[in-house]
């Protein structure tokens, strides 16, 4: 059901967080909010880590250019703020049209038979925390947690935790109250959107300054970079050095011959390292790992795969296409088969994208207990949505409602309007009608309103 919130460009099948609108990042509200990446195949500086590669954390936009087919478990990456949308990546002002680079498979042999075209996945290490440590160097080496208003007694979630805090089991998306229990000595800091945006802009400008690079931004702290290089490891290290010099921030770089392999490789190189993953080493590295080690395969999809006898990446790679299509449908089934083989798109694409929807959500410090309170809250959210939508100069044609009842039961509903509109009252009333249709009297702890816009001229 959560997939209803992600109408937009399809993404990997299991994303677990809520994120901000692509065209405007909000200020932190007065109430705490739950917000709601021929050479040696392994870098010589990084040993193959034990156990399974962790499921990739998402911070990117819903995008038809994404190698994944759509995540079934929410919209994107770590919970960064108070708004949510199917669109995560903020379009940078200096984004350029798609370059006329030659089309072909990344990892294409050059004139001497060596692979010369590569995908790099650049992922900033503990990005929000790292930015804060530049402002507060006295906190270096301490467990630091960024989330909400920095108050662990409030309803909010962890946006980013330092490696020292992660050692205590603190992770992105964890409630601040639980984070405090797991790591009582942690320093809690509030999110600061403008500062993170500025740091992100410097990172992306540095990547775009790489000669010949095609940069596809995934979010604040990660991007794919397409390069021509005889030695991709040296190229990756050069990018790491350039980003560090420009921003004071460290990054890890995954290197691959497809976007999927580059993205997954990054986890093996963290922190501050590089890792190479190609078709030749895919099964050696990934074959025996669970399917949830793949980019975009979360616990739900993993459980469905296991139900049809597919437990490992090797199982998925060898699975019959008909079986996957029967279980998941033609699009997702085919995508999962490619994912098991590490396939998919092989070139980053820097074409600017167009927003399909804007949404806002708020987790309330005190539950809403009356219909009047709910309607007033919906009116506030609707007004903010319309403010965002008007900047796109396209009217709302569908209204999506998200409700989380106490203690933690979440429902979503959607309704197409009789005619597109910018009228806040129409959006508010439609959302309220959807709420009343749930016929649930439990207190409300979270509300979200999303406006899906009419298509632009020429379509998406």
Interval 42-55: pLDDT, tens:
333 333 333 333 33
Summarize pLDDT for 97-122 with one digit per residue, the tens.
Answer: 222 233 333 455 554 556 589 999 99
Q: Domain containing 103 — which CATH number?
A: 3.30.70.270
Sheet holding 357-368: strands in order across? Answer: 357-368, 444-453, 396-405, 409-421
159 within some domain = no
Q: Beta strands 274-277 and 251-256: pairing type?
A: parallel
Name all contacts of 183-186 with Cβ < 8 Å and 24+ positions apart. Answer: 183/143, 183/145, 185/142, 185/143, 186/142, 186/143, 186/144, 186/145, 186/161
376 and 323 co-located in one domain:
no
Q: What pLDDT, in 10s, does the model give residues 348-361?
A: 999 887 889 999 99
What is the pLDDT, as a whole number, of residue 113?
Answer: 52
- Which residue, 321, 340, 359, sits at the end of a domain? 340
408 against 443, higher pLDDT: 443
Tally of CB atoms within 10 A around 118: 27
At residue 401, the pLDDT reads 98
Residue 34 pLDDT greater than 50, yes or no: no
Q: Is residue 54 part of a domain?
A: yes
**Given 324, 340, 356, which residue is the final one in a domain?**
340
Residue 151 lies in a domain: no
Domain range for 394 is 368-453
Confidence of residue 32 (pLDDT cuts 50, 70, 90): very low
Instruction: Indicate if 109 and 19 belong to the same structural domain.
Output: yes
Q: Report d(CA 237, CA 410) in Å as an integer.
A: 44
Q: In terms of domains, do 318 and 377 share one?
A: no
Kindly list the strands in the beta sheet with 222-228, ordered across the sheet, starting from the edge strand earlier in the chain.
214-219, 222-228, 117-124, 251-256, 274-277
User: Mutual orientation of helices 232-247 and 193-208 as an angle, nearest 10°?
Assistant: 140
Q: Is 27 a catalytic residue?
A: no
Total number of domains in the chain: 2
Q: For 128-181, what is each residue's pLDDT tens digit?
A: 999 999 999 999 999 999 999 999 999 999 999 999 999 999 999 999 999 999
pLDDT in tens, 240-251: 999 999 999 999
- Rounded CA-CA distance 255/119 in Å is 6
Q: What is the mean pLDDT of the chain?
A: 80
Q: Which one is catalytic: 34, 132, 154, 222?
A: 222
Cis amide leading into 407 (omega within 30): yes
Please name which of 262, 196, 198 lies closest in space to residue 225, comparing C-alpha atoms: 262
| Confidence category of residue 84, pLDDT binned at 50, 70, 90 | very low
327 in the same domain as 405 = no
- Within 13 A of 241's CA, how many CA atoms are on the CB side? 6
Last residue of a domain, one of 304, 320, 340: 340
pTM tops 0.75 = no
> How far apart (Å, rounded) are the C-alpha atoms in residues 199 and 193?
10
The reply to whether 421 and 316 lie within a common domain is no
Residue 263 belongs to some domain of the structure:
yes
In a domain, residue 346? The reply is: no
Tell me the sheet residues that pair with 400: 414, 450
Share of the chain above pLDDT 90, in %: 72
Do 279 and 421 have their domain in common?
A: no
Residue 76 clears pLDDT 70, i.e. is over it = no
- Residue 399 sits at φ, ψ, to 5 deg, of -115, 130
pLDDT confidence bin for 377, thresholds 50/70/90: very high
- Select from 58, 76, 14 the least CA-distant residue to 361: 76
Instruction: For residues 53 and 113, state if they share a domain.
Output: yes
Instruction: Check which CATH number belongs to the domain holding 375 and give it.
Output: 3.30.1490.100
What is the pLDDT averaged over residues 426-439? 97
Same domain, 119 and 253: yes
pLDDT greater at residue 310 or residue 81: 310
Asked if 116 and 252 sit in the same domain, the reply is yes
What's the rounded Cα separation, in Å, for the pair 48 and 274? 11
pLDDT band at 8 (very low <50, low <70, confident <90, very high): very low
**What integer is the mean pLDDT of 321-350?**
95
Residues 335 and 400 in one domain: no
How much is the pLDDT for 359? 96
Same domain, 215 and 255: yes
Give domain status of residue 25, yes or no.
yes
Please indicate, yes or no, if residue 200 is contained in any of the structural domains: yes
Q: How confident is the model at residue 457 (pLDDT cuts 50, 70, 90)?
A: confident
pLDDT in tens, 202-247: 999 999 999 999 999 998 999 999 999 999 999 999 999 999 999 9
Query: Mean per-residue pLDDT for 277-296?
Result: 97
Instruction: Supply φ then ψ for residue 67, to 5 degrees.
Output: -75, -10
pLDDT computed for residue 231 by the predictor: 96
pLDDT of residue 458: 79
**Within this chain, do residues 210 and 295 fall inside the same structural domain, yes or no?**
yes
Pick the closest to residue 371 from 296, 430, 436 (CA basis). 436
Say if 351 falls within a structural domain. no
């Amino acid at each position: 059901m959560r997939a209803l919130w992600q109408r937009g460009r399809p993404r990997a099948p299991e994303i677990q967080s809520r994120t901000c609108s692509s065209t405007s990042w909000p200020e932190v509200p007065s109430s705490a909010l739950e917000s709601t990446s021929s050479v040696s195949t392994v870098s010589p500086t990084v040993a193959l880590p034990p156990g399974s590669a962790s499921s990739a954390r998402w911070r990117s936009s819903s995008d038809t250019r994404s190698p994944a087919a759509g995540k079934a478990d929410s919209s994107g990456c770590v919970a960064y703020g108070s708004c949510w949308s199917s669109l995560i990546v903020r379009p940078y002002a200096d984004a350029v049209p798609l370059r006329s680079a030659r089309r072909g498979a990344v990892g294409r042999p050059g004139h001497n038979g060596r692979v010369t075209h590569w995908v790099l996945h650049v992922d900033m290490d503990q990005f929000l925390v790292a930015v804060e440590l530049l402002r507060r160097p006295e906190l270096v080496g301490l467990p630091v947690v960024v989330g909400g208003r920095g108050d662990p007694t409030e309803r909010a979630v962890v946006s980013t935790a330092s490696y020292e805090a992660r050692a205590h089991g603190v992770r992105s998306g964890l409630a601040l109250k639980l984070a405090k229990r797991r790591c009582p000595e942690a320093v809690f800091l509030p999110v600061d959107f403008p500062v993170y945006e500025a740091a992100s802009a410097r990172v992306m400008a540095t990547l775009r300054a790489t000669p010949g690079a095609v940069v596809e931004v995934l979010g604040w702290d990660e991007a794919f970079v397409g390069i021509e290089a005889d030695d991709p490891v040296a190229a990756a290290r050069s990018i790491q050095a350039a980003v560090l010099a420009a921003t004071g921030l460290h990054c890890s770089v995954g290197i691959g011959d497809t976007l999927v392999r580059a993205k997954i490789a990054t986890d093996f190189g963290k922190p501050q390292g590089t890792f190479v993953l190609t078709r030749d080493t895919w099964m050696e590295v990934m074959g025996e790992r669970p399917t949830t080690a793949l980019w975009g395969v979360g616990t739900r999809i993993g459980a469905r795969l296991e139900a049809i006898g597919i437990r490992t990446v090797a199982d998925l790679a060898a699975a019959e296409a008909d079986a996957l299509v029967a279980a998941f449908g033609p699009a997702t089934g085919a995508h999962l088969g490619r994912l098991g083989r590490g396939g998919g798109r092989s070139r980053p694409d820097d074409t600017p994208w167009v927003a399909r929807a804007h949404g806002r959500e708020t987790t309330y410090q005190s539950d809403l207990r009356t219909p009047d309170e709910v309607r007033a809250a919906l009116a506030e959210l609707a007004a903010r949505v319309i403010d965002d939508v008007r900047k796109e100069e396209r009217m709302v044609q569908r209204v999506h409602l998200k409700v989380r009842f106490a203690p933690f039961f979440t429902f979503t509903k959607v309704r197409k309007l009789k005619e597109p509109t910018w009228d806040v009252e129409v959006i508010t009333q439609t959302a309220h009608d959807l709420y009343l249709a749930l016929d649930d009297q439990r207190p409300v702890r979270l509300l979200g309103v999303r406006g899906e816009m009419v298509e632009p001229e020429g379509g998406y």
